[in-house]
Amino acid sequence: MALAAAQRGNWVRTSRMESFENASDGELVARTRAGERDAYGELVRRHQATVYNIAYRLVGERETARDLAQETFVCAFSALASFDATRPFAPWIHRIATNTTLNWLERQRVPTVSLEHDDTEPAREIPDESNDPARALLVQEQNARVRRALIALPPRQRAVIELRHFQDLSYEEIATTLGIPLSDVKSDLFRARQHLRKLLVGER
């Protein structure tokens, strides 16, 4: 009898998981608000890789990025009541991730590092699909170089680069997300790019 109940419980859980997989983000938000915590689990699974990568680009450390991604989802859950369900979930969670990470960086007052600084952790990038080991290595090295250049920037400049280049926000949207004037967005973006260009492309 207990076994039957357990099997029934598993069946209910499995069928609910399947219904989550087919649900839109908006439906999952509504179901989370209605008290279905597993619906939020599905939202986390859908967006965790992107959120993790936002944090990773900003902090340059895998473990810290994982912790910050986790913190992002916990914060977002607390703020879910304020989420406008008529808008897409992804940009909302990405902005929370950026701000959570930026706040963390500002609390740490992380010193900037030089491009020549050796990455202690070996790069573990997605292998290149061309199956050309030399090319894959080149891509890996280039990725590591870009990441080192990004974390050499002051935190707010990193954030504007993240929001503009990786989240494709307009200048006005960046200003709103970070709560800074439009003129600061433009100057931070300009300075960050000048710095990155020096590090990655070389001065003309």
Partner 1 sequence: MNHLPLEILDALLDEQLAPGERADAHAHLAACADCRAELDARRQLFATLDALADEPLAVDLAPRVLAQIEPTPRAWWIAALTVAEMAAAIALAVWLGGTLVPLFDLLPDFGAALTAIQQAAIDALNAIHIEPLETVPLDGLVLGVAIVAWLLTNWLLIQFPKQKEVLV
Judged by CB, which is closer to partner 1: 50, or 176?
50
Give the shortest CB-179-to-partner 1 separation in angstroms.
Answer: 19
Judged by CB, which is closer to partner 1: 4, or 112?
112
Judged by CB, which is closer to partner 1: 112, or 187?
187
Please list, residue by residue across 131-142, b when 16 or more beta carbons sit within 10 angstroms of its beta carbon and e when fewer do.
eeeeebeebbee
Instruction: Report the chain's C-alpha Rg in angstroms.
Output: 20
Nearest-CA neighbor of 169 among 23, 54, 77, 85? 54
User: Contact positions toward partner 1, by CB under 8 A?
Assistant: 37-38, 40-42, 44-45, 48-50, 52-53, 56-57, 62, 65-66, 69-70, 73-74, 77-78, 124-126, 139, 142-143, 146-147, 161, 164-166, 170-171, 186, 189-190, 193-194, 196-197, 200-201, 204
Give the shortest CB-4-to-partner 1 separation in angstroms.
Answer: 27
Q: Which residue has the tokens 């929001």?
A: 163
Judged by CB, which is closer to partner 1: 27, or 173?
173
Helices and strands (H, E) in the chain, number of each type: 9, 0
Measured in residues, the chain has a length of 204
Judged by CB, which is closer to partner 1: 3, or 104?
104
CA gap 6, 201 in Å, rounded = 61
Nearest-CA neighbor of 98 among 62, 125, 65? 65
